Amino acid sequence: MIFSVQLLKNDEQFTGELNSEHNRKHLDFLKQEHEWFLSDREYKSQGITKEDEENETEAFYNAFAIFDMTREDIEENSETFESEKFDKSLLNCCLLDIDTDCIYLNTKNSNDFYYVLKVLSELDCEVNFIDEKYIEYDYSSFKNLISEKQKTTNQFVINYIPYSNEEGW
């Protein structure tokens, strides 16, 4: 399994409450872009052609698959997981009324946000961190990027996608 964490664009398009209808549509679009980026990258790295895609070959289907990740999956694949602390922190920064595959950072939940991000970063699998322009970072640099951006705005959303490629099965 591979775990991709992306800092979503945080611009004038996110206005007011994150759970507004406008922001839900925008978040859904950004999450879809994250999936497209990952699938395109995997298809290219594995030599999947348009012909494979059109013919729906086995290689095409094995090249990229998104998983649902549960709390239990996170607990089983983390050495730093603390049940009560994780549940409380996730509740304080998860967009429960929108999606559970996004967490947000604002001025009130910084400790919870960074704790959840730390647990995700230490999962027993490959974890990739990318910014809104799809540039990869290691965990420390990604965390620093968020801290720097936090100086100019007070609201961030990250999206995480657990997936597998042919090598990950």
Average pLDDT (69-86) is 88
| pLDDT score recorded for residue 18 | 59
Average pLDDT (95-124) is 82
Torsion from C-alpha of 98, 28, 92, 163, nearest 10 degrees: 110
pTM of the model: 0.84
Q: Residue 64 — very low, low, confident or very high, per pLDDT cuts 50/70/90?
A: very high
Write down the domain spans for the chain: 2-168
Average pLDDT (43-48) is 93
| pLDDT score recorded for residue 94 | 81
- Asked if 35 contacts 24 with a C-beta cutoff of 8 angstroms, the reply is no
Residues 6+ apart with CB under 8 A from 22: 13, 15
- 68 versus 121: which is more confidently predicted? 121
Helix (H) or strand (E) holding 153: none
Q: Residue 169 — very low, low, confident or very high, per pLDDT cuts 50/70/90?
A: very low
